[in-house]
Structures are given as structure tokens and as C-alpha cells.
Amino acid sequence: MSRTSSPDGPLAQFFQLVPGGMPPRRADKAVGGVIPARALRYCEAITSASAFGWYVFLPMNFKVVWDGHDMLWTYPGVDEWLPLTRDAVQYPNFSGHFDQHAPPDVRGFCPPFLSPSIQPGQLQIWTGCIAKTAPGWSLLVRGVANLSHAQSYQMLEGIIETDHWFGPLFDNIRIFKTDVPIEFRSDAPFLQVQPVRKEHYADKFLQNFDVKTLDELTPQNWQAFHRTVVVPNTAPDRKRGQYAVAVRKEAAHAARLAPVPE
């Protein structure tokens, strides 16, 4: 497979091990209706970032609280707060279900659901899924793009080389507020995972950049700035969303030139 060709088969596959949750799906330009209609129509930069990747959901609702030292959790049907110690907890009633389907040499190795970190206030949460990508592709795991998150915790980001690492698709959170129950819902995306080529985050690739000052702009740079900034703001019949129109035209042109699969 070349760098520009499509992979043979799916770019990403999701294996939903824990039953009952919403399946992963393509990310949404409108982020489920959160993006204002004006931005959805005119701001291609926002909608492109919002739709880049796939949403991954949690299979159940639950709550977590941290008092600065101990962490507790609960879920619907349980009328008490359960301790989250250094020993991870499983999805309720799932470990037996996992062992029933797993081959003998895998039984007893069900991925944990919640795993407190040795770092205070940090918690690893498994989505109940495993992801696999085409050779040469990894997944950037992060919170949902352009969606306001709770001020009580932060979603950490990571890149998983899912073309060869076939393990639980999880993320880590860092809790900021103590003694405040934090609710995680199964009907809203928990993660947005985005495909990236391995060579695109390699150090050799990312070291290939430079920085210039204002007096180093070339005539070609100034012409590009004039075309991008000055012309749209001085045209008497200026239309909004020119960047969005240009990007969509470029995408349509690229689609027409793309080879037709045999």
C-alpha cells in the first residue's frame, strides 16, 4: 500500500466486546447539533475537525467521585458508592461472559473497566472496545472535538499504534475537583479517535519545519496574504464562507481525479 492509496479493507475496525452499548460511528460535523448553524454553514475548519474520525461510546452509565485521596464509583441499580482501589474493577457481570467466549489460554485476562493510576486523581477508563487499523495507521485517542467538557476533569490524549497493538481501547482522565460526583453517560460519545499515519508523527517528520519573521515574508507570501485576507474584506459583494467554498471545490476536484477502484 502506498502512502496515498486506500488500504485493502477497512481503515479501522472496532470490536465491541462489552455488549449493550452504542456502536462506534463516524464523527459528526455538527457534533450532535452542538455546532451553531452559522458555523456549520460557513466554518469549514470547525466542521472538518469535528467530523475527523469516529466516536466511541461507553456501554453503561456510571459515576465517579474523588476526595483527594480515595476514589469511589457507582452505577444504576447500585445504591452505594464502591471503592476504587489500586486493583482495577471489571464491567459488571462481564468477566464471566468474556471467559465463556475466550479460548482457554486467554481466560482470566478480561480487560479492566476502571483502573486508578498511581498518579493522584487519574483514572483509566476502558470503552469496552478493541480497535484495529490498517498497516501503517495509528489512532489518536482524545475527547470529542469542539465539544465543551466538564470542568471537573480533563481528557488526556494519546496515540495508539493499533495496526499491531490489539488491546483495549481506553483513555485516561485527570480529575480536578474533589467531592464532586462526575457522571459518565453511555448516550454521548466518550472518545473521538482519529486515524494518523505513523510517519506523520515520527520525530524526523516533525523536525522538518522553520520559523520566519515579518521581514522575511516573500512577495509570493504577500500575494497569498492579499488573496486570502485583503480581497475578501474589500470586495463590495463579499460573500461569507469563501474558505468553506474553496475547500469544498478542492475536495470535489480531488474526488474527480481519484482513480476508480477496479
Query: What secondary structure does DSSP assign to 80-143, as a single string?
Result: SPEEE-SS-BPPTTTHHHHHHHS-TTTTT-PPPSEEE-SSTTEEEEEEEEEEEE-TTEEEEEES
Quickly count: other Cβ atoms within 10 Å of residue 68's Cβ.
11
Q: pTM of the prediction?
A: 0.86
Hey, which residues does 172 pair with through a beta bridge? 124
Q: How confident is the model at residue 5 (pLDDT cuts 50, 70, 90)?
A: low
Higher pLDDT, 228 or 183: 183
Same domain? For 51 and 122 the reply is yes
Contact yes or no for 134/163 (Cβ under 8 A): yes
Domain finish residue from 198, 227, 249: 198
Q: How confident is the model at residue 260 (pLDDT cuts 50, 70, 90)?
A: very low
Q: How confident is the model at residue 256 (pLDDT cuts 50, 70, 90)?
A: low
Assess whether pLDDT exceeds 70 at residue 251.
Answer: no
Assess whether pLDDT exceeds 80 at residue 6.
Answer: no
* The pLDDT value given to residue 151: 86
- Going by the DSSP 8-state scheme, the letter that residue 207 receives in this structure is T
Quickly count: other Cβ atoms within 10 Å of residue 242's Cβ.
15
- The grid coordinates of residue 13 equal 475496525
Strands across the sheet containing 71-74: 82-84, 71-74, 62-66, 182-184
48: domain CATH number is 2.70.40.10
Same domain? For 25 and 58 the reply is yes
Range of the domain at 236: 210-257
pLDDT in tens, 75-84: 999 999 999 9
Q: How confident is the model at residue 240 (pLDDT cuts 50, 70, 90)?
A: low
Total domains, the chain: 2
Same domain? For 171 and 247 the reply is no
Same domain? For 80 and 102 the reply is yes
* The pLDDT value given to residue 2: 44
Higher pLDDT, 212 or 150: 212
* Percentage, residues of the chain above pLDDT 70: 88
- Range in 57-71, 216-230, 238-252 the model is least confident about: 238-252
Same domain? For 218 and 193 the reply is no
* Start-to-end CA span in the chain (Å): 15
Same domain? For 129 and 219 the reply is no
Measure the CA–CA gap between 98 and 111, rounded to whole angstroms: 9
Contact yes or no for 141/160 (Cβ under 8 A): yes
Q: How confident is the model at residue 8 (pLDDT cuts 50, 70, 90)?
A: confident
Same domain? For 121 and 27 the reply is yes
Contact yes or no for 256/249 (Cβ under 8 A): no
Same domain? For 53 and 98 the reply is yes
Return the ∠ at Cα 222 (arms to 220 and 228), rounded to 5°.
Answer: 105
* The pLDDT value given to residue 7: 76
Same domain? For 169 and 232 the reply is no
Q: Is residue 262 part of a domain?
A: no
Contact yes or no for 67/180 (Cβ under 8 A): no
Same domain? For 186 and 251 the reply is no
Assess whether pLDDT exceeds 60 at residue 152.
Answer: yes
